[in-house]
Amino acid sequence: MNERVQPPELPASRTAQVMADIRGRIGAGQLVPNDRLPSIRALAVELSVSPSTVVEAYDRLSAEGLIRPRPGSGFFVTEAGRTPAPLVRLEPPRAMEVDPFWVARQALDADPGTSKPGCGWLPPDWMPIALLHAGMRNVLRQATSLTTDYGPSRGGAALRRFVETRLRQQSITLSEDQVLLAGSATQALDLVCRLLLRPGDRVIVDDPCYFNFQTLLRAHQAVAIPVPYTESGPDIAAFEAAVAREAPRLYLTNSGLHNPTGATLSPQVAFQLLGIVARSDMLVVEDDIFADFEPEPAITLATLDGLSRVIRIGSFSKTISASLRTGFIATDPERIRLLTALQVAIQFGGPSQVATEAIHGVLSSGGYRKHLEQLHRRLDTERRAVATRLGELGIAPVLVPRGGPYLWCRMPDGVSSTALAQAALPQGVVLAPGNVFSPSLSADGFMRFNVAHMGDARPFRVLERALKAMG
């Protein structure tokens, strides 16, 4: 019997090579759903192949469903070309102690007995428990549909009207169709990022900034561009240079009380910043989650802009409940329409009606204002006491915030806040080292403390021991 001779393996055809090139661009995020592919002639020149080869490659990719033709417009990537990218691959890995996820993981998963001066929320006994329980009981007494049905696409009407009224009291002009409720401020920001960002887009962030801004941008494959943050707002010269150099899509920041520094945006910096924004093709996302901690409302970008190029985000988690999470977005009506459609696509409806009705019950009660007044007094007392005790250890607040639970502090000379946090963790104390908040990793000499979690002696004892051990 004659043996069948196997033909030699042939190199991939030019058509296959073109197809592999397009698949590679899609897989790397260079082309995303709804992006237009290069024209047939342009790609032929780029890859040194004939136009007919590109036509054949595009036809085969269309048959696979990876791209689709639009008569008169060219070929476009379909949703089938969306390649999810794990968070760990989106940027060079950091050491675990400075990864932005680190503080969140330690604080969220800590044993009940752990002291958490590094976390971002208030202890349970600081929250309006009686008001919250009353609000929940009232919900349960209402129509059964509140506890069984999907929530309205834009969230409960009563809470939306409350948010609208509050924003108008802050001198923000808006109509009734400019507010969308979401499951939290984080979810609200995620919706905004889903709507506005594509992989590779540049986003200016403060340095330092809230660490979850970094992780969320990483999840959306956006590139964070850090700009130094001062006591009066972002460094304007650095901000303007970053806008000119990077052509960013967004500027993402806190308003009112900045996290982690506690600083307040000055009117001069605010006007300068909005002038730069107006001359560029970018938008501002202003997270106002600490509004209820302010003794007096600060100037905000949304107040000055009127929700034209500024998107306002807020929540009630910090002062009412992190369990019944409810956030909101305020922006122009067209963006609200698009964000609403996106929210429905993602979760088929708005946030939980139980949550929104219970939160509205708390906010509309006479007791909530009294709760805030008591909270402000208590935080003022703790802020002064903690600053004094930290000062005795050589840890100095950079500034005294107008309100809020945070102190952004400078470590003693030569002390690494990262090393200090690592030393404290086995002793049952979760700290927030500065580099967790710094995209440029330039804040190892700083640490954020939540004064509401420092009412006993344990954090100070652990800090004192760790500092002595470090020399």
Residue at 91 is within a domain: no
Q: What angle do CA 31, 313, 171 make, to 5 degrees?
A: 130
User: Which CATH number is 26's domain given?
Assistant: 1.10.10.10
Domain that includes residue 67, residue range = 14-81
The pLDDT-based confidence of 90 (bands split at 50, 70, 90) is very low
Question: Quick count: other Cβ atoms within 10 Å of Cβ 275?
Answer: 12
Q: Which of 310, 313, 80, 282 is nearest to 201 (CA)?
A: 282
Q: 51-83 in b/e burial notation, b at 16+ Cβ within 10 A?
A: eebbebbbeebeeeebbeeeeeeebbbbeebee
pLDDT at 12: 53
Residue at 189 is within a domain: yes
Mean predicted confidence (pLDDT) in 211-239: 95
Note the pLDDT tens digit of each residue in 339-375: 999 999 998 989 999 999 999 999 998 899 999 999 9
Q: Are residues 242 and 332 in the same domain?
A: yes
Average the pLDDT over each of 166-180, 244-258, 417-431 and give the range with the smallest value.
166-180
Q: Which of 338, 365, 392 is the last residue of a domain?
A: 365
Q: Are residues 350 and 235 in the same domain?
A: yes
Mean predicted confidence (pLDDT) in 388-413: 96
Q: Are residues 46 and 155 in the same domain?
A: no
Note the pLDDT tens digit of each residue in 422-464: 999 999 999 999 999 999 999 999 999 999 999 999 999 999 9
Residue at 282 is within a domain: yes
Q: Are residues 333 and 378 in the same domain?
A: no
pLDDT at 91: 47
Q: Are residues 251 and 383 in the same domain?
A: no
115 token code pair? 């002291």
Question: Quick count: other Cβ atoms within 10 Å of Cβ 456?
Answer: 9
User: Which CATH number is 425's domain given?
Assistant: 3.90.1150.10
Q: Are residues 142 and 291 in the same domain?
A: yes
pLDDT at 92: 46
Mean predicted confidence (pLDDT) in 208-226: 94
Distance separating alpha carbons of residues 411 and 436, to the nearest angstrom: 15
Q: Are 425 and 111 in contact (CB under 8 A)?
A: no
In the predicted model, what is the mean pLDDT of the chain? 90
Q: What angle do CA 219, 221, 227 make, to 5 degrees?
A: 95
Residue at 89 is within a domain: no
User: Which CATH number is 345's domain given?
Assistant: 3.40.640.10
Handedness of CA 428, 431, 433, 437 (dihedral sign): positive
Q: 206-227 in b/e burial notation, b at 16+ Cβ within 10 A?
A: bbbbbbbbbbbbbebbbbbbbb
pLDDT at 82: 61
Note the pLDDT tens digit of each residue in 46-69: 999 999 999 999 999 998 888 999
Q: Are 100 and 259 in contact (CB under 8 A)?
A: no
Percentage of the chain exceeding pLDDT 90 = 73
Q: Are residues 439 and 457 in the same domain?
A: yes
Residue at 140 is within a domain: yes
Residue at 255 is within a domain: yes
Q: Are 107 and 116 in contact (CB under 8 A)?
A: yes
pLDDT at 83: 54
Q: What angle do CA 340, 252, 325 make, to 5 degrees?
A: 50
Phi, psi dihedral angles at 263 (to 5 degrees): -75, 165
Does residue 89 carry a pLDDT above 80? no
Mean predicted confidence (pLDDT) in 34-50: 91
pLDDT at 354: 92
**How many structural domains is the chain composed of?**
3
Bridge partners of 466, per DSSP, are none
Does residue 39 carry a pLDDT above 60? yes
Q: Are residues 322 and 465 in the same domain?
A: no
Residue at 425 is within a domain: yes
Q: Which of 51, 81, 111 is the last residue of a domain?
A: 81
Which amino acid would we find at residue 85? Answer: A
Bond before 426 cis per omega within 30 degrees: no
Average the pLDDT over each of 64-73, 120-129, 236-245 and give the range with the smallest value.
64-73
Q: Which of 365, 393, 426 is the last residue of a domain?
A: 365
> Which CA distances in Å does 125 have to 89, 112, 129, 407, 455?
40, 14, 8, 20, 12
Q: Are residues 348 and 458 in the same domain?
A: no
In angstroms, how far is CA 172 from the centroid of its own chain? 23
Does residue 405 carry a pLDDT above 90? yes
Q: Are residues 390 and 305 in the same domain?
A: no
pLDDT at 97: 56
Residue at 361 is within a domain: yes
pLDDT at 112: 84
pTM of the model: 0.80
463 token code pair? 């800090």
Bond before 439 cis per omega within 30 degrees: no
pLDDT at 471: 75
Q: Are residues 199 and 330 in the same domain?
A: yes
Q: Are residues 157 and 235 in the same domain?
A: yes
pLDDT at 88: 44
Q: Which of 357, 386, 324, 453 is nearest to 161 (CA)?
A: 357
Does residue 94 carry a pLDDT above 60? no
Q: Which of 322, 301, 183, 299 is nearest to 252 (CA)?
A: 301
